[in-house]
Homo-oligomer: A and B are copies of this chain.
Amino acid sequence: MTEIIWGLGTSHVPSIGAAMDNEKAQDEYWKPLFDGYAPAREWMAENTPDVAVIIYNDHANALGLEMIPTFAIGTDDHFNVADEGYGPRKVPNVRGHAEMSEHILVQLVNDGFDMTVCQELDVDHGLTVPLSVYCPEPGEQWPCQVIPILVNVLQYPQPTAQRCLALGEALGRAIRSFPGDLKVAVFGTGGMSHQLSGARAGLINEKFDREFLRDIKENPERLAALTREDYIREAGSEGLEMIMWLIMRGAIGDDIERVHETYHVPASNTAAALTLFAPVTAS
């Protein structure tokens, strides 16, 4: 049986990627963030998935505003790293898993999720930074195949937090029903609190973030009941991205333990965090 071996919630700030790409991870500014990642990285390096399902949003690099899907899935077996305007990040392109993505697509549609199918997709920092958080030095090739799932967080009306949690639950069922015995990791990316524009630019709300970090494990239903307006008011217009963590949480399920957590302010304009969950193995 295919199993989900861990779930990672992580910010996907571009400057985290840039810091790694430019070997600044040991700089005074960045060291505390990367030191915070270290225990999770060690644990993940010992628990390597065959496939990573990465829930993220595109930032005007693959999708234009003429057509915005609420939820989309990339079904190709290859995804190029997007050129975000400065040339692509110097990381390997991404290998997909066409069979598993088709399986997930069909199961999700059968479960009443109205997925958009992306047969061609360039993946931006929203996906590649979390991959680098997992695996800072991939060499020639990322250590796992990847299935991208995209969420509209940029344009109102975004999906509700409740809908994201429900999608995650269906995603978990879909992954576990894939024939074979693959090991899968699920990434929920984005956040924490931040706002890039407007008079509240620079907003960071540590209290909200810490409660979110607690409840993403203990009480996801509380987080799912928050409205889009709640997220925007408390966590900033871009902090709303955190709804994507609920998809990961829905997929991995309730019977989990927290392997590691770290919180850091700021990663450029953003509160950055990481939380790593693993299923509690029956004893």
Contacts and interface: CB of A to CB of B under 8 A. Distances in A.
A178 to B, nearest CB: 15
Contact of A69 (B65, B67, B113): B67
A136 interface: no
Interface residues of A, number: 29
Contacts of A66: 118-120
Interface stretch (A82-90, A104-112, A140-148, A266-274): A104-112
Interface stretch (A159-167, A196-204, A206-214, A246-254): A159-167
Contact of A109 (B65, B106, B117, B159): B159
A93 interface: no
A152 B118 CA distance: 13
Contacts of A106: 156-157
A171 to B, nearest CB: 13
Contacts of A18: none
Number of copies: 2
Interface in A63-80: 65-72
A114 B157 contact: no
Contact of A114 (B105, B115, B155): B115
A68 B112 contact: no
A35 to B, nearest CB: 39
A116 interface: yes
A154 B191 CA distance: 36
Interface string A216-246: 0000000000000000000000000000000
Contacts of A69: 67, 69, 114, 116
Nearest to A108: B157
A67 B148 CA distance: 14
Contacts of A115: 70, 114
Contact of A68 (B68, B71, B116, B155): B116
Nearest to A160: B110
A70 B116 contact: yes
A166 B119 CA distance: 27
A117 to B, nearest CB: 5
Contact of A155 (B65, B117, B156, B159): B117
14 contacts: A66-B118, A67-B67, A67-B72, A67-B120, A68-B119, A69-B69, A71-B114, A109-B158, A109-B159, A112-B112, A112-B163, A113-B114, A114-B114, A114-B159
